[in-house]
Amino acid sequence: MGKNKVVFALVIIVVFAIVGAGISLICSKFIKFGDVKIVETSAQGSAAAKPMVGTIVFDPPLPQDAPADIKDAAMLGYNILMDTQKYAPGYVGNKLNCQSCHFKGGITQGGKNGGLSLVGVAATYPRYRKGLNYAEDLVTRTNDCFEKSMNGKLLPPDSKEMTAIVTYFQWISKGLPIYGNITWLGIKHIQSNHKPDPQNGIQIFTQKCAICHGDNGAGTDIAPPLWGNNSFNDGAGMANPENLAAFAHLNMPFKNPDLTVEEALDVAAFVTGQPRLHFAQKK
Ligand code: HEC
Ligand code: HEC
């Protein structure tokens, strides 16, 4: 091969390489490849400045830090959750407060000692109920706890109290993505093949619960009632043994949860089997 032919071949190769690279660059603008990761950028910043966009972080604002125009409402909402007896007395029919189950007014990350979190709840409603053919909004869901967990009455949607609660929920949900996968919300049921034994549940109740909740489950100055006329009624989420077991496993005895999976299931079977008021569905 002559020198010219070698040079010619090299030029051809280089030209093809450049043209090829150009074509694939242009194509990549229009064609989406299966494994291409879409980097989301925020409206204000570049991807580099906000690399965590899309990641859900627990960092709720406090009600006292709400902006002036919503601060009174957010604070009232928070106070209703902390002391429902005092701030929404007309709507409560037992001795519980929202925070009996939604610890710290729901400003927790759930999990161990967190009770039932409400951070981000405003980003996950309305929730479409398959079969019922309606979308349950936050007012309806909140009223569900008033009627059942609190054995009380429905708050008018435009009442001062309901407006305050929803404002509070919106505020502590600030920055969380609508319908994002907010992992700390919701009860995670215990996965176990153990058959709950309410008889053993009596022993556990006597050893580990009665000291605070009272021998008859009717509550003491330290802890709210677990059954009877002053506790949640039989329509409440907590009246479902699977829910109570999951809650007790992570949270009871209060601040020092130590129930095994089996103990939690047994004591829940006993507690939910005790007498409580019946929820009469209004038609
Ligand atoms: C006896 C315990 C208990 C009390 C008291 C209680 N709740 Fe609840 N609440 C629950 C349970 C259980 C759930 C269902 C959690 C789930 O489905 O994972 C729930 C769910 C909720 C939800 C929806 C949360 C979600 O993730 O979808 C809201 C909102 C709520 N409660 C508000 C309130 C308010 C406001 C009060 C006081 C007026 C209150 N709750 C009192 C037990 C309680
Ligand atoms: C050291 C005291 C203490 C012990 C022991 C204790 N609890 Fe509680 N429990 C509390 C307190 C306090 C609350 C309310 C928390 C709040 O208001 O922030 C509570 C709330 C509850 C609730 C939700 C509210 C209600 O009254 O229904 C359930 C259910 C519950 N406890 C079950 C149990 C079970 C089951 C045991 C035994 C395994 C137990 N607790 C042991 C102090 C205790």
Distance (angstroms) between ligand 1 centre and the Cα of 145 equals 5
In the chain, the percentage of residues whose pLDDT exceeds 90 is 76
Q: Which ligand 2 atom lies nearest to the CA of residue 205?
A: 37
Does the C-beta of 186 come closer than 6 Å to ligand 1? yes
Q: What angle do CA 159, 165, 171 make, to 5 degrees?
A: 135
| Mutational test site, ligand 2, from 200, 209, 220, 266, max ligand atoms within 8 Å of CB | 209
Task: Report how far residue 237's alpha carbon sits from residue 141's, in angstroms, rounded to the nearest whole number.
Answer: 12
Atom of ligand 1 nearest to the CA of 185: 26
Rounded alpha-carbon distances, angstroms, from residue 77 to 37, 152, 244, 273: 41, 17, 25, 33
Q: Which ligand is nearest to the CA of 231?
A: 2
Residue 28 neighbours by CB under 8 Å, 6+ apart: none
CA distance 276 to 216: 12
Domain locations in the chain? 63-172, 198-272
pLDDT of 7 reads 62
pLDDT band at 8 (very low <50, low <70, confident <90, very high): low
Give per-residue pLDDT as tens, 9-59. Answer: 666 665 565 555 545 444 344 443 333 333 333 444 444 454 455 689 999
**Fold equal for 63-172 and 198-272:** yes
Average pLDDT over residues 175-204: 97
Listed residue (56, 51, 113, 105) closest to 83, CA to CA: 105
- 90 is written with which tokens? 């007309």
Mean pLDDT computed over every residue of the chain: 87
- φ/ψ (deg, to 5) at 247: -65, -50
What is d(CA 168, CA 88) in angstroms, rounded to the nearest whole number? 15
Count Cβ neighbours within 10 Å for each residue of 191-205 and write b for 16 or more, e otherwise. Answer: eeeeebbbebbbebb
DSSP assignment of 99-145, as one string?
Answer: GGTSGGGG-S--STTT-S--TTGGGS-SEEETTTTEEE-HHHHHHHI
* pTM (two decimals): 0.86
pLDDT of residue 43: 41
Mutate to test the pocket of ligand 1, among 85, 92, 149 (most ligand atoms within 8 A of CB): 149
Least confident segment among 34-38, 148-152, 227-231, 269-273: 34-38
Cβ 141 under 6 angstroms from ligand 1: yes
Q: Which two tokens stand for residue 89?
A: 């007395």
Minimal-distance CA residue to ligand 1 atom 5: 98
151: tokens are 């054995």
Q: Kindly report the CATH number that applies to the domain delimited by 198-272.
A: 1.10.760.10
Looking at the chain, list the stretches that DSSP marks H as alpha helix, in order from N- to C-terminal side: 3-30, 68-82, 84-87, 138-144, 160-172, 198-208, 210-213, 241-251, 261-272
Distance CA 226, CA 217 (A): 5
Tell which CATH classification among 2.60.120.10, 3.40.250.10, 1.10.760.10, 3.30.1300.10 matches the domain 63-172. Answer: 1.10.760.10
